Structure formats: structure tokens, C-alpha cells
Structure 1
Amino acid sequence: MHPPPTPAPPAPTAPHAPRSWRSRRPGPGRTAALLTVAAGILTALVVVRWGPLIAFDQAVADGLHRRAVAGPELTQANRLLSDWAWDPWTMRLLTAVAVVMVWLRGERLLAAWVAGSSALGAAVSQGLKWAVGRERPQWPDPVDSAHFAAYPSGHAMTATVTCGLLLWLTWRQGVGAGLRRAAVAVAVVSVAGVGITRLWLGVHWSSDVLGGWLLGGALVAFSIALFRRVTLSRKP
């Protein structure tokens, strides 16, 4: 009898290709959940007036206000940026222009979705201001003034919602890589810059601005995730 043949050794398996950085990024649904949790925690700390947060807010406000009073030229530049370039109505006008352009391209659902998301952001901002009712910083020598409640910063939240939605549109419309990079740079400068101007002018606490950024980012991520689900469900 012949001995049984020796089984061939198993073929070496190819090593798994490492996942790219893009594949490891959280999707819009998870991003929305994380940002919502962070915003909820911050809002709770503001409502209960958590001591370390209040002390940090006051220290930042005091330091920036001294510099704002001592530098009227820089303060005037911050006022122009805050009241004109990055004003919420300027941001909403940019959104309206983008909505009209997308509508004219025939993407009616997308245009209506962006308009509705922008309106929802304004409603959430005003509703939270009313619900939280936080006082704005008070100064004996103010360099600017603002009305209604402080938390969250409407400027910071509106800029975040607007820039987030416009960046999403540039991606959906297939804008070239160079223009996308430029749009991202402008968005980052605008979102960060408007928050800094509100702090410099002494009309917001630092946690107001952070809350506006977190809530605005959560709303944009939630809007994108829900739009993807709606469009997938409409496909035959």
C-alpha cells in the first residue's frame, strides 16, 4: 500500500490591508451623537453654574476685556468682522444664495433640506437662549453691546451651521479639490474667527461660544445623516 499523500501546506494568506484614515472616520450619525452628548453636558454645566466652568469663563472674559479696552483699533476691527462679515444675517444670506443655486440645478429636495436645516439651527439657538436664560457679561466700560440671553452664541452656532452645510454642498456638487481645500480654510477661519470676536467684544462667555460650535456641528451632522437615510429609502 502506498502511504497517504502528504497534504500541501495552506497557501499563505495575504495580510489585511490597513484601513485608510478616511475609512476610520466616524460617519455623520455617530458624529452627530458625539457632538450632541458633548453639547448636552456643557449645557447642563452652564445651567447648574458649575464652579470651575464659571471661574474659567470669568477669567477669560476679564483678560480679553482688558485688552479690548486697551486696543480700540483692534476692537473696532473685531466689531466690523462680527457685525458684518460674520453676522448671522450674512451667513443666512450665503445659505439662501446656495439654496437658490441648488434649486435651479434641479435638486429641489437638497435645496429645501439645506434651507430647513438652516432655519432649524436658528430656532434651536433662540429656543435654548430662552430656556437657559444666561446673563451676558456685564462691564462698567463696555466696548460693544448685545441683547437677549447669552447661551449659546448665536453668531458661533449660525456660522458653524452655515459653513458646515456649504461645505457639504461643495462635496455633493463635485467641486474640485483645490476649491474644496480653499472652502475648508475659509470655513475654519470664519467659525473660529466669529467666536473670537464675540469673546473679544465681551458679549459672550467662552462656554457660550463652545456651545454654539458643538450644537451647530451636531445639527449639521444630524442633517447630513438623515438626508442620506431619506434619499436611500427613496431609491427603487
Structure 2
Amino acid sequence: MSSSGPDTLASDRPSWQRRRLDPDHSLGLRLTLAVAAAFLVLVPFSLLALLVLGAWAPLHRLDMSVTDALHGYALDHPAWVVVMRVWSEVFAPMPLRVAALLLVIWLLRRKARRLAAWTATTMVVGGLMGPLLKLLVGRDRPELLDPVARAAGYSFPSGHALNATLAAGVLLLVFLPYAGRGVRRVVLWVVAVLLTVVTGLSRVALGVHFASDVVGGWLLGAAVVAATAAAFTSWRAHVGLRPVRPARDGIAPEVERHPDAT
């Protein structure tokens, strides 16, 4: 005579370790992705923010040495300053937000409503976090005797670096399905990396941010993209769409062929 008591029923249930990554148990999957995203947000960025708040001497010395070196180069090379100013203005937060808005409109015209919502959410959430954290940290910008550029407001994290990272992440995850596997994919990655790196470096080169401000913006932007992409991937599992690897496939590869799919 077989037994079907509570112990037997409990043994038939997947363990928590299995449920937390099982697409058939969407709550466990969502919780796991949320914890992973929170880890990305809290650990590297929070550590850097604490070092900035505590005025950690080694970080301050490193920031000042980078700032002094780049400022000296800028004073000796006016053309370099012009290039950095133009880049910094073209890829400032507001132009990137306008570009994101145009992308949202394009996605809506293709009936990719959820992908459009993800794009808007990523840019808005990251865009709101930047000014809030500037106020909370309250770090002053570099003070230079002969500045080549000026900027208002607090310094940490860099809004330019943050928004460039958000825009680059959106660019990659939306357009990877269109890039194929050849040269276009390489070009897309190069454009995203250049947008992120050069925009951040331009702010240090102009003497309006410390290097740690820019790194903080990069970390926060990457964390926001990771968190919203995790939420979108969780939704895909919930509605039964095939699993994807965002860094390889984008987050909605079916949109490229079937715009109504998401």
C-alpha cells in the first residue's frame, strides 16, 4: 500500500533552488532576477558612493591626479577642448532623451508596445535616479584655477556618463536582432562602447567631473539597464516566449520579423 502523505507531496515539489530559475515558476524567477539586479545596483555603485561620501584619501588623490593631467593637456591643446565640448554637447542627456523618444515612437509604429515601454522606463528611471543621487551625495565639482569649461550642480554621479550608458544599453538591446552575426553587429557594439566611454571621458577632460563621478555614472547606468532587462526577460518567461540572452540576442528578437509579437 503506497503512502501519499505530506512528506510525499512535499518531495514532488521542485526545490526552492530549482524554482528560483524555473520559467514555469514566474514568481521565483522574478525574485531571483530582482535580487541579481539589486546586487548589481547596490554593491559596486554603493561602494564607490560610500568612498566618495567618506572622502577616502586614495580615491581623492587618484581623482585629482587624473584631473590635473587632463586639465594640463587641455590647456596646451585648444583643439582637443573644442572636440570634447562638441562631443559633450551632442551627447548630453537631453539630446539622448530626445533620441530615445524618437526610438519609442518608432517602436510604437511597429506595434512593439512592450519594447517601447521598456525603452521609456529604462531612460526615465535612470534619468530620475541621477539627479536624486547628486543631491544625496552632494559632491562639489572640481575647482580649477584656469577652467576650460563650466557646469552647474553637484558632481556625483555624472549625468552625461549615466545617460550615455542608458542610451547605449537601449541601443544594443533593441537593435541587436537587426544586426545579424557579421560586421553590423561589431559596428553596433563599437558605437555603443564609444558613446559610453567617450562621453564619460569628455567630462573629465573638460574638468567638470572627477573620474570617479564618471565611473559612478557608468555603474549606475549599467545597473539600471540590467534591472529593467531582467524584468523584461521575466515577463517573456511569464508569457511563454522563448528564452533569450540579451547581450547576444537583444531582449525582443522576434520583433525584427514579427512586430506584433511584443
**Whose relative contact order is higher, 1 or 2, with alpha carbons under 8 Å and at least 6 apart?**
1
Q: Residue 40 of structure 1 aligns with which residue?
A: 46
Q: Secondary structure at the match of 1:148?
A: coil
Tell me the distance in 1 between the aligned counterparts of 2:215 and 2:205.
14
Deviations 1:186-210 (A, max 9, x none): 1111111011110110000000000
Q: Residue 231 of structure 2 aligns with which residue?
A: 226
Match of 2:180, as an amino acid? G
Unaligned runs of 5+ in 2: 1-31, 242-262
Q: Residue 67 of structure 1 aligns with which residue?
A: 73
Alpha-carbon shift at residue 225 of structure 1 (Å): 0.4
Alignment TM-score, normalising by the size of structure 2: 0.75
Unaligned runs of 5+ in 1: 1-26
- Among 175, 178, 188, the alignment partner of 2:179 is 175
1:202 and 2:204 aligned: no
Alpha-carbon shift at residue 91 of structure 1 (Å): 1.4
Assess, with a 3 A threshold, how the Cα gap between structure 1 residues 149 and 79 changes in structure 2: closer, same or farther.
Answer: same
Q: Which has the larger radius of gyration?
A: 1
Deviations 1:101-158 (A, max 9, x none): 1111111111012101101111000100111110000112110000110000000010
Q: Secondary structure at the match of 1:230?
A: helix
Are 2:179 and 2:188, in contact at CA under 8 Å, matched by a contact in 1? Answer: no
How many residues matched? Answer: 208
Alpha-carbon shift at residue 31 of structure 1 (Å): 6.6
What is the RMSD computed on CA atoms of the aligned residues? 1.9
Q: Residue 102 of structure 1 aligns with which residue?
A: 107
Tell me the distance in 2 between the aligned counterparts of 1:160 and 1:49.
25
- Among 204, 211, 216, the alignment partner of 1:211 is 216
Match of 2:135, as an amino acid? W
1:117 and 2:89 aligned: no
Match of 2:107, as an amino acid? V
Are 1:36 and 1:214, in contact at CA under 8 Å, matched by a contact in 2? Answer: no
Alignment TM-score, normalising by the size of structure 1: 0.83
